[in-house]
């Protein structure tokens, strides 16, 4: 049964109560469905911890084989899912080598091959097999909206591309505005051949290499009905994890399991940069959760490849290393799934380009790396953080947000100080009769107040 037909049945019949949230640009025109065929499946999708990989930077060798050598360490950090940025050959024509010698990996020259600098298809298969041998999962980037200018389709099937002013073609146009993505050319999804070619590509990597899904670049720029048909088609081979680089809740209605928490990321930066009250984050999350359909989830982050290159790494945005840790806990302890971009766990403070290679020293073990390892390991073993209901205990908080995540198995209380000053906060009355244990220290927390250092965070387990 197609998702479109299923939704036509479900939407009129089901209603989902709002959480008393303010209006938002994300608000849908109708009540979102409570279930969508395929979303949240396979079962491991709920509880993913995603590690984004730029192959040239992710190991000393900068190859598929080099990444295999880091898998145990990545898994020990609490990660269970790898997302590889595009693995394909990069276009030469109109390459933006003024930004970096590698050009953009999102300029795809051949969807059926791998970048020779990364290794061979046999090396890639070895990586996939090594990931699966550890009971982990691997998805790859799919760039469906555009290709490199020297992709063979441009010469063999020019009708697959959007008409435009550059020799009859155009760079991508988003929301009516022409982008500066001059190294790529926009595909035309009104052409049935374009759609079928892209579906064939998606089937190929799942069928031939047994990958576990896709992160879909600028997914909102591609028609929704294409994604619905493509995801249904791929899932005739196996159930896959689909991540959309988009924030629109409607992406879930065509089969995407996760979308980006961009609105939260913007609100998080305003709390740090503009001293916005921390309760605005709780309001934003409530609004999002009331609009997400079915089992759809947000991917929550304090950086990714775009933000690290074009914006700044977390320590530069969130008040240093300590502030970046508080921001990460606050972002990823909200309902959704955590994302770590390779190098983030090293405490990178300068912008990092993915148009060039950055030779990280992966042998170093700074304290912030221990933070990510300890926190994400707890996350991986915490049913409350993975799937617990959210209750905000300080809905008017200016500086310290206190909230609860709870399932039948576990309840945890999180407190995060978003300011660079020591403060005391009252423990909410709801916990007067409870025993609280700090998960980092193992010590019981007593009394009516919590003393919070600058950019401090506490994760407290409610004992049975």
Q: How confident is the model over 305-332, as pLDDT tens digits?
A: 999 999 999 999 999 999 999 999 999 9
Determine if the peptide bond prior to 143 is cis (ω within 30°): no
- Supply the pLDDT for residue 16: 31
Residues 6+ apart with CB under 8 A from 95: 103, 104, 107, 183
| Per-residue confidence band for 35, with pLDDT thresholds at 50, 70 and 90 | low
Q: Are strands 137-142 and 81-84 parallel, antiparallel or unpaired?
A: parallel
Q: Where are the alpha helices (DSSP H) in 187-308?
A: 192-209, 224-234, 250-253, 262-273, 279-291, 305-306
Rounded-to-integer distance, Cα 40 and Cα 345, Å:
28
pLDDT mean over 434-453 = 93
Distance of CA 1 to the CA centre of its chain: 28
- Supply the pLDDT for residue 237: 94
Measured between alpha carbons, how far is residue 438 from residues 298, 413, 443, 445, 464 in Å?
27, 9, 6, 7, 14
pLDDT higher at 24 or 122: 122
- Name the burial class of residue 116, with classes exposed (0-12), middle (13-18) and buried (19+) by CB atoms within 10 angstroms of its CB: exposed
Write the DSSP assignment of 385-399 as a string of letters: HHHPEEEES-TT-SS
Rounded-to-integer distance, Cα 330 and Cα 332, Å:
6
| Per-residue confidence band for 98, with pLDDT thresholds at 50, 70 and 90 | very high
- Supply the pLDDT for residue 448: 87
Helix axes 224-234, 192-209, angle to 10 degrees: 30
Rounded-to-integer distance, Cα 412 and Cα 388, Å:
9
Report the range of poorest mean pLDDT among 16-20, 180-184, 240-244: 16-20
Residues 6+ apart with CB under 8 A from 121: 113, 114, 209
Rounded-to-integer distance, Cα 213 and Cα 111, Å:
15
Rounded-to-integer distance, Cα 292 and Cα 31, Å:
10
Q: Where are the alpha helices (DSSP H) in 356-436?
A: 367-380, 383-387
Q: Where are the alpha helices (DSSP H) in 176-236?
A: 192-209, 224-234
pLDDT tens-digit series, residues 162-177: 999 999 999 999 999 9
pLDDT mean over 397-419 = 98
Total-model pTM: 0.92
- Supply the pLDDT for residue 31: 65
| Per-residue confidence band for 261, with pLDDT thresholds at 50, 70 and 90 | very high
| Per-residue confidence band for 32, with pLDDT thresholds at 50, 70 and 90 | low
- Supply the pLDDT for residue 41: 80
For residues 62, 117, 113 and 241, what is the CA-based torsion angle, rounded to 10 degrees?
Answer: 10
Rounded-to-integer distance, Cα 208 and Cα 327, Å:
40
Report the range of poorest mean pLDDT among 237-251, 282-296, 359-373: 282-296
- Supply the pLDDT for residue 8: 39
Whether residue 21 has pLDDT greater than 70: no
pLDDT higher at 37 or 356: 356
118 near 125, Cβ under 8 Å? no
The count of other CB atoms within 10 Å of the CB of residue 411 is: 22
Whether residue 11 has pLDDT greater than 50: no
What share of the chain has pLDDT > 90, as a percent?
Answer: 87
Residues 6+ apart with CB under 8 A from 432: none
All domains in the chain, ordered by first residue: 35-381 (3.20.20.80), 392-462 (2.60.40.1180)
Rounded-to-integer distance, Cα 297 and Cα 301, Å:
13
Whether residue 354 has pLDDT greater than 80: yes
- Supply the pLDDT for residue 230: 97
pLDDT mean over 336-349 = 97
Average pLDDT of the chain, as a whole number: 92
pLDDT higher at 387 or 446: 387
| Per-residue confidence band for 30, with pLDDT thresholds at 50, 70 and 90 | low
pLDDT tens-digit series, residues 39-92: 868 889 988 999 999 999 999 999 999 999 999 999 999 999 999 999 999 999
């Amino acid at each position: 049964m197609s998702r479109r037909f299923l939704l036509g049945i479900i939407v009129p019949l089901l209603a989902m109560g709002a959480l008393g949230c303010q209006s938002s640009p994300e608000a849908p025109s109708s009540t979102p469905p409570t279930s969508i065929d395929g979303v949240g499946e396979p079962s491991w999708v709920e509880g993913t911890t995603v590690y984004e990989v730029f192959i040239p930077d992710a190991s000393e060798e900068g190859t598929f084989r080099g990444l295999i050598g880091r898998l145990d360490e990545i898994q020990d950090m609490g990660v269970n899912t790898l997302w590889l940025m595009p693995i394909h050959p990069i276009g030469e024509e109109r390459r933006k080598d003024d930004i970096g010698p590698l050009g953009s990996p999102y300029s795809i020259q051949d969807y059926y091959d791998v970048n020779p600098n990364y290794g061979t298809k046999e090396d890639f298969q070895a990586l996939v097999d090594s990931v699966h041998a550890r009971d982990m999962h691997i998805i790859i980037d799919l760039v469906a909206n555009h290709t490199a200018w020297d992709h063979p389709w441009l010469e063999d099937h020019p009708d697959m591309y959007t008409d435009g002013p550059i020799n009859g073609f155009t760079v991508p146009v988003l929301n009516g505005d022409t982008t500066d993505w001059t190294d790529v050319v926009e595909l035309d999804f009104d052409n049935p051949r374009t759609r079928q070619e892209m579906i064939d590509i998606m089937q190929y990597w799942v069928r031939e290499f047994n990958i576990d899904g896709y992160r879909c670049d600028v997914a909102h720029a591609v028609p929704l009905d294409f994604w619905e048909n493509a995801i249904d088609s791929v899932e005739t081979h196996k159930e896959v994890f689909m991540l959309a680089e988009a924030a629109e809740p409607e992406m879930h209605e065509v089969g995407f399991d996760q979308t980006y928490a961009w609105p939260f990321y913007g609100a998080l930066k305003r709390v740090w940069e503009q001293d916005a009250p921390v309760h605005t984050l709780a309001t934003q999350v409530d609004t999002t959760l009331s609009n997400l359909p079915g089992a759809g989830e947000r991917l929550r982050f304090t950086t990714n490849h775009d933000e690290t290159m074009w914006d700044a790494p977390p320590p530069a945005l969130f008040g240093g290393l300590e502030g970046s840790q508080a921001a990460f806990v606050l972002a990823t302890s909200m309902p959704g799934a955590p994302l770590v971009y390779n190098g983030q766990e090293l405490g990178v403070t300068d912008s990092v380009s993915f148009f060039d290679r950055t030779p990280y020293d992966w042998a170093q073990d700074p304290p912030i790396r221990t933070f990510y390892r300890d926190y994400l390991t707890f996350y991986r073993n915490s049913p409350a953080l993975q799937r617990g209901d959210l209750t905000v205990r300080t809905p008017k908080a200016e500086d310290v947000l206190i909230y609860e995540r709870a399932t039948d198995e576990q309840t945890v209380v999180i407190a995060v100080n978003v300011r660079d000053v020591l403060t005391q906060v009252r423990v909410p009355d709801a916990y007067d009769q409870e025993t609280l244990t700090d998960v980092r220290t193992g010590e019981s927390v007593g009394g009516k107040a919590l003393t919070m250092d600058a950019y401090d965070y506490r994760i407290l387990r409610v004992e049975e």
